[in-house]
Structure 1
Amino acid sequence: MDALAGLLEGPRARGAFMIRACFDPPWCIRVEDRAPLTIMLVVRGEAWVMPDGQERTLLRAGDLAIARGPDPYTCADSPATEPQAVILPGGECAYPDGRSLKGHRDLGVRSWGDRPDGSTVLLIGTYLMQGEITGRLLDALPPLLSLTSREWKCPLTPILAEEIVRDEPGQEVVLDRLLDLLVIAALRAWFSRPEAEAPAWYRALADPVVGRVLRLVQDDPAHPWTVASLAAKAGVSRAALARRFTELVGEPPMAYLTGWRLALAADRLRDSADTIGAIAHQVGYGSAFALSTAFKRVYGVSPQEHRTGGAPTVPRGTVT
């Protein structure tokens, strides 16, 4: 499993917040939902996306933007337009003065705004959960990234536009999978750009030696890997692997393996009912005690506390 696959193999979209937003100018929406990731695709018209304290971006028809949470941002027809609504956690909507907007501006199935055929139409998908594997990827993203229609053609746009307004059995699952496909395709396109400043571990996947080692530990974290066994698989000496891996990834092979194992454990603690002992064996630890010791050293809480919601969002000392 490579790092991009980890985005989907960890906490995949489950009941993601999906909406077709339709506006006529002037319009302005303040987003304070603290969601880990939101993707916006402009179907018609244009929209300014303005993260607090960051450079603003103008999106035109066919353009796409991804906002990394939890910091707030504003979407509007113009930077000068004052907010007319605030999006809160859980997709709740309110007027800027705090009064509830529930039920107001509803336009039908997953549609919201001024009128269904508004001059600006955006398709918006929001992930509501974040896991530790996902965090390694999200931490590498800027607060806002964008791709223009000239840089990337999105074949999923007409499919998503058609599916988002359907109300049929199983439709949430269909939309979740479409959102996953859209995000992974957009991130692949983004990371392929030199100016994207992809994280070291992502760039290292292209290296014939380090890339092979990364895939080995990602695909089989439970294997009792050592620097010697990884070096043998890569066809280099232990010293050469340690030097090259540290230079390209930013940490030694065993440190990366430990971080990957604990990230997997963190996800499985939240997303499965497996015992701590079973999870320990799945990710390469000999016992629940061994996993608990390593987990608490990095995350600051025990696996059980993490499972019940007591873990920090960012591991202590993690290199991303």
Structure 2
Amino acid sequence: MDPLSDVLSLLRIRNYHSASLSLGGDWAFNFPIREGIKFTAVVKGNCWLQVEGEPTPQKLLQGDCFLMTRGVPFTLYSDLSQPVLDSDGYFLTLAADELALNHGGDDVQLVGGRFDFTGIPTQLLLGTLPSLVHVQGNEPQASILRWALERFTSELHHQRPGRSLMNEHLAHIMLVEVLRTHLATLNSSGIGWFFGLADRNLSLALGAMHGNPSHRWTVQDLAQLANMSRSAFALRFKQVVGSAPMEYLTHWRMLLASDRLKNSSDSVSTIAFSLGYESESAFSTAFKRVMAQSPRHYMRGHSTPD
């Protein structure tokens, strides 16, 4: 798998909710801080979105979608001059995982899904994203997001067998499409994992490490794959990704290990050897350095699923 697929495969959905909004006339609603990430599509009409911490409001048009990555408060407006109401007092609970807000008509309609992801890579993926990713309606990803959100709300509404698995897959589809959009907009001025994926040369090295994490990679091996000299590659990798190549490789191995310790019956020694370590003690030393606890202590602390 490619690096993005590798990391996404380790994410798990803890819980999810859907919300539909039908709004008319003049209005403005504030939405308080919520854990998890939120996908929303504008099905009809247009409105304004102001996210706390973002310098300027965004105009949302019919067909647009947006991703909120950090659960920060935000406000939706028919126009920016309207007094703001607290949305909590206007939502109706249709089911345990379905909410609806109806106010003044249906000039503007939005549908959204909120997901709580768990798993070690959550911060790796979401921590380097901006608080808001806006996907305009004319972008190819927007139609996929709208379709996935419609399917998601349909699954919740109809309560059919297999809906939990279906909604987990739909959440991953939406997340991939938004991340692809985000990757396409990146330049070379930032620091973080996504900037490494967006870098033509570094992405080759990242792909190799993810494709064969047990291999005894050297900086020279990775530099050759990236078509760079050893010194230039090491410097560039640290500047863009934020960690040295071997440090990144160790960290990725420990993410894989932590997932298997939590979600499989593999022994510590089996995991150690499968990730390229010659002894369980060498693996345990590396794991404790990255995860701040021993593998066995980590395994005992996660002996039951979330």
Superposition TM-score, scaled by structure 1 size: 0.74
Query: 1:10-38 CA deviation, whole Å, 9 max, x = no partner?
Result: 21446533343434463525233221x22
2:173 is aligned, of 172, 181, 200, to 181
Query: 1:268-303 CA deviation, whole Å, 9 max, x = no partner?
Result: 334434333333334333444333322332333344
CA contact (8 A) 1:221 1:284 kept: yes
Taking the aligned partners of 1:75 and 1:279, their CA distance within structure 2 comes to: 48
Task: Give the C-alpha shift of residue 216 in structure 1.
Answer: 0.9
1:165 is aligned, of 151, 154, 163, to 154
Unaligned runs of 5+ in 2: none
Aligned residue for 2:69? 68
Q: Does 1:82 align with 2:55?
A: no
Taking the aligned partners of 1:172 and 1:149, their CA distance within structure 2 comes to: 28
Taking the aligned partners of 1:266 and 1:200, their CA distance within structure 2 comes to: 22
* Amino acid aligned to 1:119: D
Taking the aligned partners of 1:63 and 1:219, their CA distance within structure 2 comes to: 35
CA contact (8 A) 1:28 1:77 kept: no
Aligned residue for 1:58? 59
* Amino acid aligned to 2:39: I
- Aligned runs of 1:7-22 on 2, under 5 Å? 7-13=7-13, 16-22=16-22
Taking the aligned partners of 1:264 and 1:53, their CA distance within structure 2 comes to: 34
1:149 is aligned, of 124, 130, 137, to 137
Cα pair distance change 1:178/1:30, threshold 3 Å: same
Cα pair distance change 1:28/1:229, threshold 3 Å: same
* Amino acid aligned to 2:107: S
CA contact (8 A) 1:269 1:303 kept: yes
Taking the aligned partners of 2:22 and 2:93, their CA distance within structure 1 comes to: 10
* Amino acid aligned to 2:207: R
Task: Give the C-alpha shift of residue 58 in structure 1.
Answer: 3.3
Query: 1:69-97 CA deviation, whole Å, 9 max, x = no partner?
Result: 24444445455322130xxxxxxxxx49x
CA RMSD of aligned residues (A): 3.6
CA contact (8 A) 2:113 2:149 kept: no
* Amino acid aligned to 2:101: G
Taking the aligned partners of 2:148 and 2:115, their CA distance within structure 1 comes to: 19
Q: Does 1:131 align with 2:119?
A: yes
Taking the aligned partners of 1:7 and 1:226, their CA distance within structure 2 comes to: 22
- Aligned runs of 1:227-266 on 2, under 5 Å? 227-231=219-223, 238-266=230-258
- Aligned runs of 1:218-229 on 2, under 5 Å? 218-229=210-221
Task: Give the C-alpha shift of residue 128 in structure 1.
Answer: 1.0
Cα pair distance change 1:240/1:155, threshold 3 Å: same
Aligned residue for 1:118? 106
Query: 1:136-183 CA deviation, whole Å, 9 max, x = no partner?
Result: 221221111212224455232245425522412223322332222122
Task: Give the C-alpha shift of residue 201 in structure 1.
Answer: 4.2
Task: Give the C-alpha shift of residue 207 in structure 1.
Answer: 5.3
Q: Considering fraction of residues, name the structure with more helix.
A: 2
* Amino acid aligned to 1:127: F
Superposition TM-score, scaled by structure 2 size: 0.77
Give the SS at the match of 1:42.
Answer: strand
CA contact (8 A) 1:133 1:267 kept: no
* Identity across the alignment (%): 28
CA contact (8 A) 1:201 1:249 kept: yes
Cα pair distance change 1:162/1:297, threshold 3 Å: closer
Q: Does 1:300 align with 2:301?
A: no
Aligned residue for 1:316? none
Taking the aligned partners of 2:223 and 2:3, their CA distance within structure 1 comes to: 21
Aligned length: 293
Taking the aligned partners of 2:85 and 2:181, their CA distance within structure 1 comes to: 33
Task: Give the C-alpha shift of residue 200 in structure 1.
Answer: 4.8
Give the SS at the match of 2:117.
Answer: coil
Taking the aligned partners of 2:274 and 2:135, their CA distance within structure 1 comes to: 38
Aligned residue for 1:268? 260
* Amino acid aligned to 1:66: L
Q: Does 1:283 align with 2:270?
A: no
* Amino acid aligned to 2:27: P
